[in-house]
Amino acid sequence: MDPEYDYIIAGGGASGLSLAWQLLNSPLKDRKVLIVDADLTPKNDKTWCFWHPGIPPFSDIIHKKWSSIEIGISNDHFSQQVEQYPYYGLRSIDLKQKVLKAIRDHAHFDLLESSVVKFTSLPSEQSALLHTEDATFKASYIFQSCFAPTEIHKSDICYPLKQHFLGWELTIDTPLFDDSTCTLMDFDESFTDGVAFMYILPWRATSGLFEYTVFSDQLLSKEFYEEKIRLYLHNRYNLRPIDYEVTRREYGVIPMQDQPVISWYKPRILNIGTQGGLTKPSTGYTFTRIQNQAKAIVDQLIANGSPEPPSPSNLRFKAYDLWLLHILYNHPAEARQIFHDLFKGNSMDQVFKFLNEDTTLMEDLKIMGSLPYRPFLKALWATRKRLQEI
C-alpha cells in the first residue's frame, strides 16, 4: 500500500482542480491531498464560459469579459447589454497553470500523473482505495470525475441529447470583429436534425473562437462542422479561407440528458463535475455549478467532516429542464421558436438569472409568459412520470 491521504481527487479537469483550489484556500489546507490524472500538462484545449453576478471565480485569470450579448435569428442580429450577469471566458490552460503551481508549492498536496483503473470502497474502515496500474492509494474520501456512475444506463435515458461542437480559433489581418460583444447563438435554420447555431467569442478585433454547435442525439463528422464554419465566415464576414489562419481547433461533446443526479459512485467515493450530474441539462453549462459544488464540499468537510453537496437544481428547475429536453428532442423547430421568443421578450440579465436558477417563482412565470405555451403544456403532460423518476 502506498501513502495514505485524507482526500484523493481523481481527475484533473475543471471539477477536480476547482475542488483542489477550494481546499488550498480553506482551513483544510494542511490535510494530505493527492490529485491524480493521466495527463496533468496544461493545454489550451478548452474554453470554459459562464455568466456571473459580482466578482467571478478565478477573476485574476479571466481571458475575456463581455457586457454585450448578440443573438442571431432568421438573419436578424440583435444585441443586449448585460449589467448584472456579465459573460466570461476562461481558458483551461490558464486555470490549470494557476492551480497546479499552487499545488506544487504546497507541502501537503501531491500530484500523480497516472491513469485511474478503478476504485474500491472500504466502508468498514471508513475509507476508499484508488487503484492505478502500478499502485494503490487510500483516503478517507475520494472525489472522482473519471467514471460515469454505474447506476446510469443508456437505456434508462429518455432524451439522450448531446451538445456537440467544433470550433476554430482564428486570426485575420484586418480588424473586423466586434470584441465587445459575444454571439451566444446565431441559429442555423437550414439544419433540421436538431438545433444548430454558431457561437462566437471574439478575443480581439482580429481574432476569436468560432464554434458550430448542435443540440441533437447524433454526432456529426468533423468535416461537417468545419464546412459550416467556413460557410458562415464567408456569408457573414465575406472571409475566404485565404483571409484567415486557424490557430487551433476545439472539439467537445457535452451531455444534455434526463438522468438522475447520483452523488455517490460508491461509499466514500463522491462523484463531482459532470459525473456528479452538474451539467445543466437544458444548456450544457457546468462551470458555475462546479464552483458551487466545490465550495459546498469543502464547507461540509469543515463543518462535519463528511461531504454531502446539495442537488444542483431544485424540483421546479428540474421540471423546466425536462420540458425543454422533451421539446428539443421531439420538436426542434418548436425549440427554435422558444429560443427566439425567450431572447426577444426578455432582458439578457433576466435570462441569465433564470438559467442560473437565481429567479423567484414569480420571475419564472413572467419568463414563461413570454414563450409559446402549447409546446410546454404538451411537454408537461408527456414528462409527468419521468420527472418523478429523476
Q: Are 69 and 82 in contact (CB under 8 A)?
A: yes
Q: Which of 122, 143, 101 is nearest to 10 (CA)?
A: 143
What digits encode the pLDDT tens for the residues 295-351? 999 999 999 999 988 888 899 999 999 999 999 999 999 999 999 999 999 999 999
What mean pLDDT comes out for the span 137-149?
95
Question: 3-class SS at 307?
Answer: coil
- Asked if residue 153 has pLDDT above 90, the reply is no
How far is it, in rounded angstroms, from Cα 139 to Cα 105? 22
Confidence of residue 156 (pLDDT cuts 50, 70, 90): confident
pLDDT value, residue 152: 67
pLDDT at site 75: 78
Per-residue pLDDT, 76: 83
Other Cβ atoms within 10 Å of 374 Cβ, number: 9
Predicted pLDDT of residue 311 = 85
Single out the residue of 142, 79, 167 nearest to residue 275, CA to CA.
Answer: 142
Check pLDDT > 90 for residue 216: yes
What confidence tier does 247 reach under pLDDT thresholds 50, 70, 90? very high
Residue 84 to residues 51, 78, 181, Cα–Cα distance (Å) = 9, 19, 16
Domain locations along the chain = 4-58+91-152+258-304, 161-256, 315-389
- Identify the pLDDT of residue 1: 57
- Return d(Cα 75, Cα 310) in angstroms, integer: 42
Give the helix, strand, coil percentages of the chain, each rounded to 5: 35, 30, 35
CATH number, domain 4-58+91-152+258-304: 3.50.50.60
In tens, the pLDDT along 163-183 reads 999 999 999 999 999 999 999
pTM (2 decimals)? 0.93
- Own/partner pairs for 229-238, CB < 8 Å, 24+ apart? 229/166, 229/167, 229/168, 229/198, 232/186, 232/198, 237/176, 237/177
Interval 241-247 mean pLDDT:
97
Which pLDDT does position 155 carry in this prediction?
57
Q: Which three cell numbers stand for residue 374?
A: 402549447
Q: Amino acid identity of 122?
A: L
How much is the average pLDDT of 278-294? 94
**Neighbour-count burial for 81-95, b at 16+ CB within 10 Å, e otherwise:** ebeebbbbbbbbbbb
Cβ proximity of 264 and 142 under 8 Å: no
Report which secondary-structure segment, H or E, holds 51.
strand 47-51
pLDDT of residue 157: 85
Q: Does 157 or 93 have the greater pLDDT score?
A: 93
Give the tens place of pLDDT for each residue, 59-86: 999 999 999 999 998 878 899 999 999 9
| Separation of alpha carbons 198 and 142, rounded Å | 38
**Span 146-166, average pLDDT:** 84
Mean pLDDT, rounded, for 145-162 = 82
Mean pLDDT value across residues 271-284: 93
Percent pLDDT > 70 in the chain is 98
pLDDT confidence of 261, banded at 50, 70, 90? confident
Residue 319, pLDDT score:
94
pLDDT of residue 149: 87
pLDDT of 154: 60
pLDDT of residue 297: 97
User: pLDDT averaged over the chain?
Assistant: 94
- pLDDT average, residue stretch 101-121: 96
C-alpha span between 146 and 35 (Å, rounded): 12
Separation between Cα atoms, residue 245 and residue 172, nearest integer Å: 7
Whole-angstrom distance, CA of residue 258 vs CA of residue 385: 12
